[in-house]
Chain A
Amino acid sequence: MLTQTTTDLSRGVGQLNVSIQNVLTDPSEVGRLTKETEDLTLTVDANRADIRNLTAVVAGLQRATPDVGNQSDNASSVTGDISSLARDMQKMMTDVGSLTSELGNVKGDVGNLAGELALLNKTLKDRASQDAGNENGQLQGTRTKKKIYIDLKAQEGCYRLLNGTHQIGCGSAQAGNVGVVHYMETDEDWDWVLKTGTTTPFAAVLHSANFTAKNVRRLVQSGRVNGIAVISVNLTAPVDGFSADKSCPNDAYGLYHDNADFENCKNETWNQAGHGLVFDDLGMPIFSLTEESDVESIINKCYLKFNKPVNGKARPYPLCAVQLESFMQAAKDTETCIRRSELVLNLNPVKFCDPLGDQNIVATLKAVPYNETRPESSVIVVGARSSTEKDVMFALFQGEAFDYIGSSRMVYEMGEGRFPVSFDMSELDTLKLQKINLTHIAQFIELSQVGRRDDSNSLWMHVDPAVLKQERTTVDAMLQQLKSHGTTAGTHLMETPEGKPLPPASVQRFLMDRKFPSIVITDHEKQFTNRFYNSHFDLAKEIDADYPSDNITDWYNATTRQSNLTASLATTLARYLFNQVTGRDPSSSEQAILTADSEEVNHLYYCYLHSPHCDLFNTTVDPKDTDALKKNTKPYPFYVSIHYKTTELTQLTQRVLAYFTGKEVINATEDTCKVMSDDTGITDERYSYLWMHGPDSGGERKPMCYKSTVLLSVAKSPAFEIDDYDWSSGKYSTWTESVWNTFRVRVFLIPSKQFQVLTLTVGIGFLLVSLVIVYFISSSADVLFQNASEPPQS
């Protein structure tokens, strides 16, 4: 069995980032967008050509991909079992290759997040109508508040994360941070805010191109700035690249921690664009302004009108200020926060933070039942060995950017004998999947970042020096096999020089426990070619996965340079795995089957990076979720998020993987689409069953049931499972995300101190004088009104 933990191609490709907009969960935003979708509007904002802003209506798109089902029938008739095996692999690889490359982001994300000042999208409140009402001066019947504040729609902001020893990210005071708005355009503006301006504290408004670690740190360290807003409407990346992750990502939790030769990137600084901004505790709020109307409000209605210095002099009060509110409940570190959350003080315990986590997605080629022995070293098969049956396991690890959450949990589960499912041998009346332990793994091929190849178009195969020393023969054979299949499939694979360490990779967590042959495939030999590692600038255009045509309806069925490259890589891996499983090279007819379709790969890129409302997702989604999907036009965020929430992307990826690797159950209904008992009454729980919306045929979709080996496996750091875990031990990821209530940005005027003091003084004066006068009148009322019963004299 070949287990190929093909993991994580992670981040691959440079990806698209895709910010962290969690739009699916947001009903009001969804409502707003729906209307556009229903009107079949193609909203391509010419000014915002980046992917997030595209509202593609894919309803009319035809799925031109060859029918995979027919293909497989032909295949099996030609080559029998092996072919169908190969066919499965091919399909799997097709996707996994490309899927994982995008999913890279899943693991990435540090960037997107907290650090990079992570932009997270919570409920967008649709206040547009209110704002409109305020425009014309006809304000009767509205609250005074409406005349004082312009509420911005911005809901993406940096928040606070905590690990075992520190807190990082952003947060405002409980009532929000208020600062005088200053738009940072020229050097004079920087001078003004950092040194000469007198109207402190400021709130700096930056264009995304100026949002660099250096600039942010200057602002924070000046002590004169209370908050930062970043204009991200036309997302322009800083010229020098931008990565909020460290220059040596995940080092402390990887294989080379405490390794004298390689620790701390001594040999190679992988992420040279990384300045570790995400790991700063900035202590102030940072928001991202993604709406044109917000930028209009803060720049035109506020800054230019009231604040912009004239001839180097500050304008008179009232000045325009912005309030950035993102108060974070958690503080100090994960240990403190967990302890506080566990205090039982009353019947409504308060939670201050949530562990990061999601679900790893795992699919095995074979469903080895619990009552069959899984031979040692059988899960990834070595090419030279031609034992009959090998298994391949595909795995997508989640939360890897946060100190390897997904992979460390899988290794932990394997060590505990619970992977992929836990069962008790004594009470087995159902058929379960046999366990996989570390000793079962024969080889491990990891796809890391593969999207931004250098000019020679090469991909690089990295091998850990210790592994190479111990398993030289096997690894050499693997490298040669991969290279030769790469040559025929059109992928140029190169070896890195011997003795170089692995780049940041999930396999490091496995190798920490056991050394087995393993290869990490990346697009870089030395430092990352991706200058936007784990950042929101990591977009489709960076990896040539964007489209030249302006006509959105053409995009889904197009092919891009990236989809061709990824398809070729998928083909290479499929043929390599065929070889590893069967012990022979595929024949030419098998090779034809073992060829990934570039257009199908593009479908994946489109769905993940451009618009989730695409045919592939609509085909595989649960019919119950179709409305939610329809309302979503922005790509789903790749942020791992908190552990009890299985992200939309994970759910969809699980379904897509099941769709490509599983089989349709004929004549199933929604009720029967579940684990079934066979004739002997034994329930077969080795497979999972998913009820899908079905392919589009003439505007109608007929739901279908898919049976596959795809399963989800918890990706939550073991640190939260182990009793009395030592939070500062550095063994497992300890990241948690703070709880918060509101993300709010509003713009308004603030009066001068003098005016306020004057108002207060007048008020107090009135009160005191009134008290004296009324006391006098009241005490002498008898005298003053002594003619009361007589007619007045006037």
Chain B
Amino acid sequence: MTIMEFFGCTFISYGLPFAMFLFTIARDPLRVIVLIASGFFWLLSLLLSSLLWFAVVPLRDQLAFGLVFSVIFQEGFRFLFYKLLRKADDGLQKVSQANEDEHVMPRDISNKHIMAYVSGLGFGILSGAFSIVNVLADMAGPGTIGIYGDSQYFFITTAFLTLCFVMLHTFWGVIFFNGLDTKRYWMIAYVGVTHMLVSCLTLLNQRTDSRPEPLYLATLIPAYIVMVVSGVMAFFVAGGSVQNIKAAFVCRKGRYEID
């Protein structure tokens, strides 16, 4: 019955990440490896978060507690993954060189933003998967949510929020790595603060005794604002500019002419 809702929400949350994977990751084995590795690091942070949640029995019912530490762990593991990646640069370079005597540095290594983007997407895809798969699993069946008074927009909100987080993680990855590379630590602080902010906003989705209706828009709108800001920042960090955008349209035409 609600199979249409199921596919609708799947496409909303994973349409864009799927397109990104398809056109930017899938063709390059090195990027696939890094994507999976960063996803693994995100999983480690989840493991640590759940261990903490499990260990601190009295606070198990307090979502905010687990959430705050989870954000800290995620950023911690993002840092660890950065360290690992930089240590592995030499190895990665060797792997991606076809010949021993090839001395041209592959673009993936020379342009550090590419691996930052890939690892950010790896974080995003995994965290997105964990926030929506359990919902999707229960969505296919004949019913939709609401018999207990929950909002009927729960599914679609979950889908949009998932999309938002996948993109945020991607952007944060680029900003965070560049901040470390260039020693501009305010960028790292920006990532940590916005991550914490958006995550805490999702607490508004909860229904409590004093707040029978969840404040979905109060979560979604700020989250998307942060996403757009981070996106723009990441774009510029990675070397983009308004000029380039214009050039992209022009150039495109030109290239075809040359070809």
Contact = CB atoms under 8 A, between A and B. Distances in A.
A238 to B, nearest CB: 31
A780 to B, nearest CB: 4
Nearest to B152: A318
A748 B9 contact: no
A776 B12 CA distance: 19
Contact of A748 (B12, B63, B147, B240): B147
A302 interface: yes
B18 interface: yes
A774 to B, nearest CB: 4
15 contacts: A136-B209, A144-B138, A147-B154, A318-B146, A750-B1, A751-B144, A759-B9, A763-B10, A763-B12, A764-B8, A775-B19, A780-B252, A783-B247, A788-B113, A788-B239
A137 B8 contact: no
B142 A762 contact: no
A451 to B, nearest CB: 45
Interface in A121-152: 134-140, 143-145, 147-150
Given A135-B148, A318-B152, A321-B142, A792 B239 contact: yes
Q: Which of B12, B19, B111, B252 counts the most chain A CB atoms within 10 A?
A: B19
The 4 closest A-B pairs by CB, nearest first: A748-B143, A763-B11, A759-B8, A767-B15
B134 A747 contact: no
Given A147-B148, A749-B146, A757-B4, 8 more contacts: A137-B209, A143-B134, A144-B137, A149-B141, A302-B147, A321-B142, A783-B252, A794-B233
A205 interface: no
B150 A147 contact: yes
A305 to B, nearest CB: 9
A770 interface: yes
A323 B143 CA distance: 9
B5 to A, nearest CB: 5
Contact of A764 (B5, B11, B20, B143): B11
Given A135-B148, A749-B145, A774-B23, A760 B4 contact: yes
Given A759-B5, A762-B8, A767-B18, A787 B241 contact: yes
B245 interface: yes
B2 interface: yes
Interface in A736-794: 746-751, 755-764, 766-771, 773-776, 778-780, 783-794
A282 interface: no
A241 B238 CA distance: 83
A711 B34 CA distance: 76
A750 B156 contact: no
Contacts of A766: 11-12, 15-16, 163
Given A774-B20, A783-B247, A783-B251, A788 B238 contact: yes
Contact of A756 (B4, B159, B208, B241): B4
Q: Which of B16, B178, B232, B248 counts the most chain A CB atoms within 10 A?
A: B248
Nearest to A148: B143
A301 interface: yes
Contact of A178 (B1, B61, B238): B1
Q: Which of B4, B7, B152, B236 counts the most chain A CB atoms within 10 A?
A: B4
A767 B147 CA distance: 30
A176 interface: yes
Interface string B98-111: 00000000000001
A559 B195 CA distance: 77
Nearest to B20: A774
A793 B236 contact: yes
A56 interface: no
Contact of B239 (A136, A175, A760, A785): A785
A166 B245 CA distance: 74
A220 to B, nearest CB: 21
B212 interface: yes
B135 interface: yes
Contact of A143 (B16, B19, B138): B138
Contact of B4 (A759, A774, A784, A792): A759
A145 B20 contact: no
B152 A749 contact: yes
Nearest to B234: A792
A353 to B, nearest CB: 28
B142 A750 contact: yes
Contacts of A545: none
Contacts of B10: 763
A453 to B, nearest CB: 50
A504 B229 CA distance: 85
B97 interface: no
A746 B144 CA distance: 12
Interface string B218-259: 000000000000001101111111001101100110000000
Contacts of A790: 239
Contacts of A143: 134, 138
Contacts of B111: 785, 788-789
A500 B212 CA distance: 72
Contact of A778 (B24, B61, B152): B24
Interface string B179-217: 000100000000000000000000000111100100000
Given A144-B134, A144-B138, A756-B4, A747 B147 contact: yes
A313 B59 CA distance: 48
A306 B120 CA distance: 44
Q: Which of A136, A771, A783 counts the most chain B CB atoms within 10 A?
A: A783
A751 B2 contact: yes
Given A135-B148, A784-B245, A785-B244, A767 B143 contact: no
A768 B18 CA distance: 11
Nearest to B249: A780
A741 to B, nearest CB: 17
A677 B48 CA distance: 72
A302 B146 CA distance: 10
Contact of A750 (B11, B23, B144): B144
Contacts of A175: 142
Contacts of B155: 759
B58 interface: no
B149 interface: yes
Nearest to B136: A144
Contacts of B2: 750-751, 756
A779 B255 CA distance: 11
A492 B57 CA distance: 75
